[in-house]
Amino acid sequence: MNIAPRDREAGARATPTNPDYLIPRATLVSILILIALWLAIYAAGMFTPPLLDDVDTIHAEAAREMLLRHDWVTMYTNGLRYLEKAPLMYWGLAGSYEVFGISDWSTRFPLMLGLLAMVLATYWLGTYAFGERGGFYSGVVLVTSVGPYIFTRFLIPDVLVGLWLTISYYFFLRSLEEGTPSRLTCWGFAAACALNVLTKGLIGLAFPIGTIGLYLLLTRNLRHLAKLRILSSTVVFLVLAAPWHILAALRNPAQGQARGFLWFYFVNEHVMRFLNKRVPPGYDTVPLVLFWALLVLWLVPWAAFLPQAVREVPRRWEQLDSLDRRKRANLLFLLWALAILLFFSFSTRQEYYTIPALPGVALLAGGWLARESSVNATDGERRAGRVSSLVLMCVGILSAGLGLALLSLTHPPPAGADLADLLKKNPQDYDFSLGHVLDFTPQALGMFRGPLLGASLSLLLGTVLNWWMRRRGRPAWGNAALSLMMVALLTCVHVSFARFSPILSSYDLAVAIQKEYQPGDLIVVDGEYHQASTLQFYTHFPLRVLHEPSGNLWYGAKFLDAPHVFETPQSFAMLWDGAARVFLWTDQEDPKELLGMPHFLLARSGGKAIFTNRAP
């Protein structure tokens, strides 16, 4: 498979006399290949595994309750106000539920569509900056990289942030080439920023303003701001972004012990979160050096070509007005990534906070890959590609060797073994998104022998074929080998993720409760709500929480109309001895709350259990 459709120069436009007037053939082929890669990698994984505890089902539950309440302004989770997030992703989820019903795949479908839109927008921007071939390779890099795949396994909006940034920067680049930027260009930029604010708050405005401001400052072109129709563009932005914020503030004023929406959303969830003073405290912070390194890691395997791609960024910024579109775009794409890295260098940060920067880095890599594979490529460019492919092959061989060595140390687990019993628990690391990776032991890896073998062979064959093709002067075929390698590798990752999911999900326990539940029964979580949020999404029953108000439910519990959710040890003991049947979710072998009280085990899965106060 040669994944290098014929090129079309950057800026060239089809004309009515051109047979490609509506959809150029190269464009159609490129889009079909990108969609095929998306189908193989992403769409195929929408149906499994069950949704996970924490953000997966907290966000899904908020969308489900939005649909049930017909309230598209104030979100609720477990009957309590959930106002810490912007609404656009939840509107998409609720719309999917309305059309397709509530299921695992309909929950993932809007995010998968968002990922496809980000890939196609990257292709669109890359075509504008580098020509059709450059756009195509930029899309291929993004859709087959590790990072976007990992962080679409659960419901977070960062991919959508990347989508709106890509569209924003397309309109900005257009504005640089228009003597007087058109209304479409300026208003399109404003609309993309507004949608970004509705996706993840003020960073949707801070990132493009910071990146573009830095670009104009470095190129000594701040006067360009005066051309961007600031007044009318601001009106467009406010028309789209302001209504939800105004309605949310009006419907959620200060009440009881709860401060109003404006304080909680803008001060606590933006300013205080940035300063790591949010109430209650949030996640741990990824070490700074690791955070920067992850941007490169998330672009594997294409990160091997980044050094030469970054060298294409012009160094004489003050002369950019006289340089071509490609050089201007390269500088913008680098600043796009750097602005996000610098912003979070002074804030709390998680592993996935770099995801919105990935389209920019993919564009840098894709633009260089297009140059390398063109007929006009220089000997130096071809040589640089061979060097990168050699390095990548060495990494692939070492990784495959490590994988096969681990495989030789593992044994198939006993029939019926629970993966949780084979893992080493590191609860101090679970505040990080990928903290559970540190739990693996040689015994646990025995459950992943097939995916481990498949991943090792994929890495070996893909990197060797890539090097071989580039050595023979066929870099396009080398890129095809890497793309197919990633399809196979990410399939193995998905199979592994599905097998590991009982550790991250309480779905099996929700099924066990559904079989026994009768009206009037109660479900209590021994811990925080997010640890067992899967129970509510799948059973549709409200949860009680044996914990002081904290985490996602802390703010909503302060309102006067908040339902009774939180239990104390004393009130829980009364419930357990009362007439109602109580199901207790716990991740403890012998929960201290049940000491001295009769209790019966209903189900156990993934290191978690359900106890009841009545015999099953």
Same-domain check for residues 148 and 110: yes
How do 76-77 and 600-605 pair as beta strands?
unpaired
Q: Residue 13: is its pLDDT beyond 60?
A: no
Nearest to 113 by CA among 162, 42, 51, 12: 42
* Cα separation, 572 vs 580, whole angstroms: 12
Same-domain check for residues 353 and 414: no
Q: Is residue 16 part of a domain?
A: no
Same-domain check for residues 494 and 554: no
**Domain final position from 504, 539, 571:** 504
Q: Residue 251: is its pLDDT beyond 50?
A: yes
Q: What is the identity of the amino acid at 211? A: T
Q: Residue 14: is its pLDDT beyond 60?
A: no
Six token digits for residue 228: 């961007």
Nearest to 435 by CA among 319, 352, 357: 352
**Coil, strand or helix: which one is 282?**
coil
Same-domain check for residues 342 and 413: no
Q: Is residue 350 part of a domain?
A: yes
Six token digits for residue 518: 């009768």
Residue 385, C-beta contacts closer than 8 angstroms, at least 6 positions apart: 305, 308, 372, 470, 475, 478
**Domain final position from 450, 475, 504:** 504
Q: Is residue 340 part of a domain?
A: yes
* Cα separation, 293 vs 602, whole angstroms: 45
Q: Is residue 394 part of a domain?
A: yes
Q: How many CA atoms lie within 13 A of 42 on its CB side?
A: 29
222 torsion bin: left (phi>0), alpha (psi -120 to 50), beta (else): alpha
CA angle 583–585–589, rounded 5-degree value:
120
**Domain final position from 313, 344, 376:** 376
Q: Residue 321: is its pLDDT beyond 90?
A: no
Q: Is the sign of the CA dihedral 468, 471, 472, 476 positive or negative?
A: positive
- Burial code (b: 16+ CB inside 10 Å, e: under 16) for 407-432 equals beebeebeeeeebbebbeeeeeebeb
Same-domain check for residues 255 and 388: no
453, containing H or E segment: helix 449-471
Q: What is the DSSP letter of 564?
A: P
pLDDT in tens, 498-552: 999 999 999 999 999 999 999 999 999 999 999 999 999 999 999 999 998 888 8
pLDDT in tens, 188-230: 999 999 999 999 999 999 999 999 999 999 988 899 999 999 9
Q: Residue 19: is its pLDDT beyond 80?
A: no
Same-domain check for residues 533 and 498: no
Q: Is residue 18 part of a domain?
A: no
Q: Residue 492: is its pLDDT beyond 90?
A: yes
pLDDT in tens, 228-246: 999 999 999 999 999 999 9
Q: What is the pLDDT of residue 15?
A: 41
* Cα separation, 43 vs 45, whole angstroms: 5
Q: What is the value of pTM for the model shown?
A: 0.92
Same-domain check for residues 582 and 436: no
pLDDT in tens, 415-430: 777 777 776 665 544 4
424, containing H or E segment: none
Same-domain check for residues 390 and 428: yes
Cβ–Cβ < 8 Å for 132, 24 = yes
* Cα separation, 8 vs 136, whole angstroms: 11
Instruction: Tell me the mean pLDDT in the region 253-271.
Output: 91
Displacement of CA 536 from its chain's centroid (Å):
23
Cβ–Cβ < 8 Å for 51, 498 = no
Same-domain check for residues 589 and 494: no
Q: What is the pLDDT of residue 424?
A: 65
Cβ–Cβ < 8 Å for 47, 74 = no
* Cα separation, 115 vs 68, whole angstroms: 27
- Residue 155 burial by CB count (10 A; 0-12/13-18/19+): exposed, middle or buried? buried
Maximum distance among all Cα pairs of the chain, rounded to whole angstroms: 86
Higher pLDDT, 376 or 544: 544
Q: Residue 387: is its pLDDT beyond 60?
A: yes
Q: Is residue 224 part of a domain?
A: yes
* Cα separation, 224 vs 571, whole angstroms: 64
- Residue-averaged pLDDT of the chain: 90
Q: Residue 105: is its pLDDT beyond 90?
A: yes
Q: Which residue in this structure is represented by tokens 């804030």? A: 347
Residue 193, C-beta contacts closer than 8 angstroms, at least 6 positions apart: 164, 168, 204, 205, 208, 237, 241
Nearest to 119 by CA among 35, 222, 32, 242: 35
Same-domain check for residues 337 and 372: yes
* Cα separation, 163 vs 161, whole angstroms: 5
304 torsion bin: left (phi>0), alpha (psi -120 to 50), beta (else): alpha
Instruction: Tell me the mean pLDDT in the region 288-311.
Output: 93
Q: What is the pLDDT of residue 20?
A: 38
Instruction: Tell me the mean pLDDT in the region 5-24.
Output: 45
| Total tally of structural domains belonging to the chain | 3
Same-domain check for residues 356 and 430: no
Cβ–Cβ < 8 Å for 161, 204 = yes
pLDDT in tens, 165-177: 999 999 999 999 8
Residue 457: CB atoms within 10 A of its CB come to 17
Cβ–Cβ < 8 Å for 369, 475 = yes
Q: Residue 2: is its pLDDT beyond 60?
A: no
Q: Residue 329: is its pLDDT beyond 90?
A: yes
- Among 25-29, 356-360, 410-414, 593-597, the minimum mean pLDDT is found in 410-414
Domain with 415, as residue range(s), is: 380-504
Q: Residue 436: is its pLDDT beyond 70?
A: no
At residue 24 the predicted structure's pLDDT band, cuts being 50, 70 and 90, is confident
Q: What is the pLDDT of residue 6?
A: 46
Q: What is the pLDDT of residue 320?
A: 58
pLDDT in tens, 31-52: 999 999 999 999 989 999 999 9
Cβ–Cβ < 8 Å for 114, 103 = no
Q: Residue 323: is its pLDDT beyond 80?
A: no
Q: What is the identity of the amino acid at 244? A: W
81, containing H or E segment: strand 80-81
Q: Is residue 423 part of a domain?
A: yes
Q: What is the pLDDT of residue 319?
A: 59
Higher pLDDT, 21 or 259: 259
Same-domain check for residues 517 and 454: no
Q: Which residue in this structure is represented by tokens 């990072």? A: 147
Q: What is the identity of the amino acid at 580? A: A
Q: What is the pLDDT of residue 21?
A: 40
583 forms beta bridges with 523, 612
Q: Is residue 11 part of a domain?
A: no
At residue 333 the predicted structure's pLDDT band, cuts being 50, 70 and 90, is very high
Q: What is the pLDDT of residue 17?
A: 39
Q: Residue 439: is its pLDDT beyond 70?
A: no
Q: Residue 63: is its pLDDT beyond 90?
A: yes
Cβ–Cβ < 8 Å for 79, 73 = no
